[in-house]
């Protein structure tokens, strides 16, 4: 089964609103990453949060991590139509090795209406 499960599967909002996506995982992690994928394109790394961090910001992105609940959330503030994309959480395998072997969640499809 997938390490990461995200919800909602799809989110539709108006420009200017905030978008929140959630990710749950099963095993211990060293870090959790969020990626963005525009339709039909490759994935782009957005932000990484380490297991000893609780919150991290990057521009309009805010990521939180709760290791006790094995969950993370990605908040996009003041959304724009250009934020329309799929968003995935991903985790490397536990143990501190083979970091590139990421396990991805199923993703949240975000649609921002102008």
Partner 1 sequence: SQTIHQWPATLVQPVGSPLSLECTVEGTSNPNLYWYRQAAGRGLQLLFYSVGIGQISSEVPQNLSASRPQDRQFILSSKKLLLSDSGFYLCAWLGQVNTGELFFGEGSRLTVL
Q: Which residues, numbered 2-61, are part of the site for partner 1 (CB under 8 A)?
A: 2, 4, 30-31, 33, 39-45, 48, 50
* 76 versus 88: smaller Cβ distance to partner 1: 88
SS3 81: helix
Q: Which DSSP state fits 92?
A: P
Q: Is 83 helix (H, G, I), strand (E, B) or coil?
A: helix
Q: Which helix (H) or strand (E) holds 47?
A: strand 43-50
Contact status: 108 vs partner 1 (CB under 8 A): no
Rg of the chain (C-alpha set): 13
Q: How many CB atoms sit inside 10 A of residue 18's CB?
A: 12
User: 15 or 55, CB closer to partner 1?
Assistant: 55
Q: Which of 19, 105, 110, 112 binds partner 1 (CB under 8 A)?
A: 105
Task: Name residue, tokens 């006790």.
Answer: 68
- Quick one: 62 or 93, whose CB is closer to partner 1? 93
Rule CB under 8 A: which residues touch partner 1?
Answer: 2, 4, 30-31, 33, 39-45, 48, 50, 86, 88, 90, 92, 99-107, 109
């Amino acid at each position: 089964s997938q390490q990461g499960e995200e919800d909602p599967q799809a989110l539709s909002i108006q420009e200017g609103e905030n978008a929140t996506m959630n990710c749950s995982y099963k095993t211990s992690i060293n870090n959790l990453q969020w990626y963005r994928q525009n339709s039909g394109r490759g994935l782009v790394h957005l932000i990484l949060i380490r297991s000893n961090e609780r919150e991290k910001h990057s521009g309009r992105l805010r990521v939180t991590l709760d290791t006790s609940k094995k969950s993370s959330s990605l908040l996009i503030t003041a959304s724009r139509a250009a934020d329309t994309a799929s968003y995935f959480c991903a985790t490397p395998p536990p143990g501190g090795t083979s970091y590139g072997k990421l396990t991805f969640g199923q993703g949240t499809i975000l649609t921002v209406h102008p």
